[in-house]
Amino acid sequence: MSDSAGLQFVSPYAFEAMQKVDVVRLAALSDPELRLLLPCLVRMALCAPADQSQTWAQDKKLILRLLSGVEAVNSIVALLSVDFHALEQDARKEQQLRHKAGGSNGESILVSQLQHGLTLEFEHSDPLRRLRLTLSELLAIMNKVADSNGEFFLKSSELFESPVYLEEVADVLCILQAELPSLLPIVDVAEALLHVRNGDWFLCLLVANVPDSFNEVCRGLIKNGERQDEESVGGRRRTEALRQLCQMNPSQALNIRAMVVEECHLPGLGVALTLDYKPDTADEAVSPLVSYVSGLLLGTNGKVRTWFSMFIRNGQQRKREGSSVLWQMRRQLLLELVAILPRSRSTHGPNDSDMEEDSSSGYSGLREEHVVKASALLRLYCALMGIAGLRPTDEEAEQLLQLMTSRPPATPAGVRFVSLSFCKLLAFSTLVSTPEQEQLMVMWLSWMIKEEEYFESAAGVAASFGEMLLLVAMYFHSNQLSSIIELVCSTLGMKIAIKPSSLSKMKTIFTQEIFTEQVVTAHAVRVAVTNNLSANITGFLPIHCIYQLLRSRAFTKHKVSIKDWIYRQLCETTTPLHTQLLPLIGAYINSILTPASKANPEATNQPITEQEILNVFQNSTGGEGSRAGRLRYTITTQLLILYYILSYEENLLASTKQLAQMQKKPKSYSAALMDQIPIKYLVTQAQGLQQELGGLHSALLRLLATNYPHLCLVEDWVCEEEVTGTLPLLRRMMLTSNTCRYTQSQLHQAFQKLPSSSPRLMRILEHLTLLSPGDLIPYAEALTSSMALLLEPAVPRRILQTLNKLWMGLNTVMPRRLWVMTVNALQPSAKLLRQQVYSQIDLMVDPLIVLRCDQRVYRCPPLMDIVLHMLNGYLLASKAYLHCHLKESADLDRQSQTVSNLGLPGQPDTPEVTREELKNALLSAQDSAAVQLLLEVCLPTSEEQQVGANTESLLRSMRGPPPGKTKLGCPGLGARRAAEEAEQEGGLLSDLREVQCLICCLLHQMFIADPNIAKLVHFQGYPQALLPLTVAGIPSIHICLDFIPELLAQPQLEKQIFAIQLLSYLCTQYALPKSLSVARLAISVMGTLLTVLIRAKRFSFFMPTLPCLVAFCQAFPPLYDDVAALLVQVGQVCASDVATKARDIDPLIARLQYLKEKPQDVLAPGGGSSKLSLPQRTAEELGGADPDVQLCYRVEATFMDIISSSLHGL
């Protein structure tokens, strides 16, 4: 709006005076400035004020005195003297008339026929007619604006364009708006003024005379504005008007700019206001323009980013104009850029000769106070070019390249500036267009390589730009251009579109001139490791470079050893764990096991040596020098080395087949090394550091569960909760500083003097329970070596239980070594057998060695608990060991066999399934042997039988004596009498009973883990005397119901007898529908066998199985008819055989029929004696009787037991 350039606008000083009604400041204004504010001042002086205070009365007098000498006041007073109510009525009538006429300029109520032009009419008119002329013209413009549908137009109005009458028209306009606010809303008036010449001047005068409306007018103009103001004349006029308003009230400029961003309208206005803004402090690090534009493009609001990017793109499509806001912004940014260039480069647009001179003469680097501003400018230009699509001019590109190749001081900000410059070069390689510029870039990159170490040491930062250079070089060599783009975007902090093809020039420079692959690998090894590497150190580090080189197999390709660097870096780690460490170890292990190419199978890295690993774990848990060892290597280092070993062994097994084909066998770490690593202790420590170790703890647990399942027992985790819980912690707090500490020798001496030293030993053991498991490690040798002494008689039970507690605590930190020590300590006495020292391998190959202990352990429950824990662990360890051994040897054996069989088609390979089946058979035999040995331990010895420790007491207390054991003639009393006898002869609290419970608990876990073990053991069978114990003590034994039908189908008579006996106890314990169906099957099988068995086998089968029918009927009364029929059938068969020998047994058959038909009449009413009494026979008579006769009497006795149990059940 250059048409108002020569007019005088309201100054910020005058506007502030009007806002605050500062009469003193108003009096200081010049006459021209005061003339612009007369409408408001005259109204204040003449109108009745709302403020009746004395202060305002004095101010009003000063205003009147101020106005008294101004001639134009009279005309304004005359304007205020008209009847504005009548004027408003006429104006509204005219609006209605125009609305009916469709907006055409016809008859006017406000203004009659004009005799002359509008200007002459205005000059010759009285105040009322002047008001009518101006109001008519303004209403016409406002109506046209309302009907224009947003299309801009410029209304030619003689009244608003005549320079002679501008001030008088402005007076009339201000008076009209002030007196007719409902007819002329100030926002609508402001919008209409944009469509006439000098509209910005009129608008500023209008707002200055109504200063409270400033924000309202600005917000209305912005809301009605265009999204892109530079695109149209209307947008530019609106921007210029708002810019003039903000120049009049600069304190609100930033608020108006915030409105612009909020509405996403008039982007040029926001830039213009930023250019006009003059901060109070001129020494800001970053200019307001850089901050504002960077915030728009790099902020989180995508709508604002798109809106401003469109402003940049559209602005470039027009020819450069000096008045363009975009051009002004670019010019200002360029000036700021040139101002911070080094002195030798801060001249006007440099040319080629300038660059040659700079490259040869002394180089002047960036000043330290300019580094942050330079970084901000670089990021801004990256955003303008990458996000907004700015195409830099030749001058801008030249100056940008000069800035990017500057050499900052060695500070953290300088390191950041170099990284940004390097990434900008990669992102916008078009900035380098001439050979001279390319040479300048190469020299700068060479300087980066040379000065990287100095910058890292002088700046005190761990992540320097040298690692980024190496990383980019490696990406170029491996053609991972997408990774370079991600690296550039993450460093610049913005997502910009970079075409991979644009990196071709930089790729050539990097791979052929600066960083060949051999140079990269050689340089990477010499890079120092990062001290105390953790996740707190951000940026690109040497570990990123080494990781990429390992992935691309550059080290093995060029025969560069990287083992020492990785080992040193692993030793220089701390928490929180850096995220790149685990991928680095994985890539390193892959480079050890997998050759870089099939042509060169030897091209692999070397693994970490066993001695280096031992150095990390030396004295890591307890013992002398433990503090020094812990100070030297952190727990993070030890956990990473452990992860490396376990992962290496797992990958070695997984790659056995491929390695065998290449006839290559990498060395596995020895078992002796693994025995010296405190695996469980380290994993326990990691459990408390899960938040700081990231995914390392879960990765270790996965490897342990696969390779060391015996270290992942569920009961161990439960025990750890008891050891590390709140209660143990409170108990340890009881330890005071003056508490007496006992040595290992004192503990050993107390054990040797048992039983006389029992009180002293108890005090020592109680003290040890207050220590943490880690602090107990030095006492492990003394505790385990003296276990055999606790088997002597008269050792208090409390000592045994305390020792068990200490052993379980040690088991949480050193299980493998503890188990070996315990097994060797519990061997039988040397008097009976020469002792042998077993190793970890021996116990994993043959876990049953654990049970070859002193026989007294089997009746010492606290020690038996330890033995069972070790047995369970070694059974699992044996499975893992055999699996690894099979996997390790199978592929190599098959490979060697294939090589030896070349040309011999008649010799096929050994099927792999055979080896697997043999392993499974061995494991099954091992597990079943362990179960059978444990069941044998549950049997009472001859001495225990003599004192009455009967294994059947476990069930007697619950359901009476076993079938067939009730004395004839005393039915119903057997259960109570047996329970009383059991209590008198030792009761439930005995060592045998406790051992039986421990063994049943372990068998229960084994059966759940592998139901096939239960099936195998019961197909093998075990003593019938143990059935009451196993059925009642092993909850999972109910799974036997699944395979009892299969066991009944076996041809061996012994297995069929065992199946029926087992089923009888199961039916009593688990009266389920499934048990009923299996019982029916068993009765059917017994009936079938009756018809096919010969006389001798019939006696052997039915004598032990007939009493089982009592349990069937007791559990399932509906089976009574089937059982009675079977018993009668058995009796008839036996009676017929006896009849052939001329023996009279008809009375027996009659009794059986009577028992079947009328069982309720057998017992007398009231529970008296039997009506049908059995003849009393001595054992000698039965023993010498015929087998068929014995079987007949057994049938009759079974009938009586069934009837007795059923009646007592009622």
pLDDT confidence of residue 1029:
92
- Please state, in angstroms and rounded to a whole number, the distance separating the CA atoms of residues 1185 and 557: 93
Calculate mean pLDDT across residues 683-700.
84
The mean pLDDT value for 4-19 works out to: 84
Q: Give the 3-state secondary structure of residue 287.
A: coil
User: With contact defined as beta carbons under 8 Å apart, do 1202 and 1110 qualify?
Assistant: yes
Which of 456-470, 790-804, 861-875, 948-962 is the least confident region? 948-962
Residue 974 has pLDDT above 50, yes or no: no
Instruction: Look at residue 92 in the predicted model and tell me its pLDDT.
Output: 86
| pLDDT at 843 > cutoff 50 | yes
Q: How far apart are CA 689 and CA 578, in angstroms?
A: 14
274-284 tens-digit pLDDT: 988 877 665 56
Q: Angle 624-626-629 (CA atoms, 0-180°, nearest 5)?
A: 130
Q: With bands split at pLDDT 50, 70 and 90, how would you rate the model's confidence at 970?
A: very low
**Amino acid letter, residue 940:** P
pLDDT at residue 737 greater than cutoff 50: no
Cβ neighbours around 61 below 10 Å, total: 12
724 falls in which pLDDT band (50, 70, 90)?
A: low
- State whether residue 908 is helix, strand or coil: coil
Encode pLDDT of 878-930 as tens digits: 888 888 888 777 655 555 554 444 444 444 454 556 778 888 888 889 999 99
What integer is the mean pLDDT of 736-748?
A: 68
* Range 774-789 average pLDDT: 87
Instruction: Give me the residues paired with residue 573 across strands.
Output: 533
* CA 638, 640, 643, 648 torsion-angle sign: negative
> Distances from the Cα of 270 to the Cαs of 102, 236, 244, 572, 594, in angstroms?
39, 12, 13, 52, 61
615: β partners? none
pLDDT surpassing 90 at residue 1076: yes
Mean pLDDT, the chain, rounded, equals 79
User: With bands split at pLDDT 50, 70 and 90, how would you rate the model's confidence at 531?
Assistant: confident
Residue 1038 has a pLDDT of 92
CA distance 890 to 884: 10
Q: What is the pLDDT of residue 565?
A: 87
Secondary structure class of 556 (helix, strand, coil): helix
Q: What per-residue confidence (pLDDT) applies to 390?
A: 87
pLDDT of 544: 80
Average pLDDT over residues 816-824: 90
Distance CA 89, CA 116 (A): 26
Per DSSP, 351 falls in state -
- Banded pLDDT at 963 (limits 50, 70, 90): very low
Nearest to 500 by CA among 485, 521, 516: 485
Output the six-digit token pair for 670.
């020895």
**666 near 607, Cβ under 8 Å?**
yes
The DSSP line for 564-625 is HHHHHHHHTB-SSPPTTHHHHHHHHHHHHHS-SBTTBTT--PPPPPHHHHHHHHTT-SSSTT
Q: Has residue 1078 got a pLDDT over 90?
A: yes
Look up residue 745 and give its two tokens: 């020798």
Burial environment of residue 346 by CB neighbours within 10 A (0 to 12, 13 to 18, 19 or more): middle
| Rounded-to-10 torsion of CA 1031, 1036, 1042, 1048 | -30
DSSP labels, 1119-1164: GHHHHHHHHHHHHHHHHHHHHTTT---HHHHHHHHHHHH-GGGSBP
pLDDT of residue 1107: 92
**Cβ distance 876 to 847 under 8 Å?**
no
pTM, full prediction: 0.62
**Hey, which residues does 1163 pair with through a beta bridge?**
1170
Torsion sign (Cα): 1151, 1154, 1160, 1165: negative
- Does 867 have pLDDT greater than 90? yes
814-825 mean pLDDT: 90
Position 558 scores a pLDDT of 72
β-bridge partners, 597? 600
**Band of pLDDT at residue 657, cut at 50, 70 and 90:** confident
* Rounded percentage of the chain residues whose pLDDT exceeds 90: 16
Per-residue confidence (pLDDT) for residue 1018, from 0 to 100: 93
Mean pLDDT of 520-545: 78
pLDDT score of 324? 82
* pLDDT tier, 626 (very low <50, low <70, confident <90, very high otherwise): very low
Q: Check if the beta carbon of residue 537 is closer than 8 Å to that of residue 578.
A: yes
The β-bridge partners of 196 are none
| C-alpha closest to that of 578 among 568, 587, 590, 569 | 569
More confident call, 161 vs 460: 161
Q: What is the pLDDT of residue 462?
A: 56
Mean pLDDT of the region 968-974: 34
Residue 59 CA to residue 38 CA, distance in Å, equals: 16
Query: Taking 50 as the threshold, does the pLDDT of residue 956 lie above it?
Result: no
Q: What average pLDDT does the segment 155-177 reach? A: 83
pLDDT band at 361 (very low <50, low <70, confident <90, very high): very low
Confidence at residue 1081, expressed as pLDDT on a 0 to 100 scale: 94
Render pLDDT for 543-588 as a digit per residue (tens, 0 to 9). 887 888 788 777 777 777 788 888 888 888 888 888 888 998 998 8
- 629-656, pLDDT tens digit by residue? 334 678 888 899 999 999 988 888 887 7
Query: Highest mean pLDDT: which of 514-523, 1056-1065, 1160-1169?
Result: 1056-1065
Tell me which residue has tokens 């001030």. Answer: 167
Which two three-digit tokens encode residue 969?
């003639």
DSSP structural state of residue 1177: -
* Interval 72-120: pLDDT, tens: 788 888 888 888 888 888 888 888 887 776 555 555 666 766 656 666 6
- Tell me if 647 sits within 8 A of 676, measured CB to CB: no
> Quick one: residue 225, left, alpha or beta (phi over 0 = left, psi -120 to 50 = alpha)?
beta
pLDDT at 63: 81
pLDDT at 953: 45
Residue type, 248: M
CA–CA gap between residue 862 and residue 867 (Å, rounded): 9
pLDDT for 176: 87
Q: Which has the higher per-residue pLDDT, 593 or 1185?
A: 593
- Exposure of 77 in the CB half-sphere (CA atoms within 13 A): 10
Band (pLDDT 50/70/90 cuts) for residue 978 is very low
**Burial grade of 894 (CB within 10 A; 0-12, 13-18, 19 or more):** middle
How much is the CA Rg of the chain, to the nearest whole Å?
Answer: 52
* pLDDT confidence tier of residue 738, bands split at 50, 70 and 90: very low
Q: What is the torsion angle, in degrees rounded to the nearest 10, for the CA atoms of residue 438, residue 444, residue 445 and residue 451? A: 170
Res. 315: pLDDT tops 80: yes
The answer to whether residues 812 and 680 touch, using CB atoms and an 8 Å cutoff, is yes
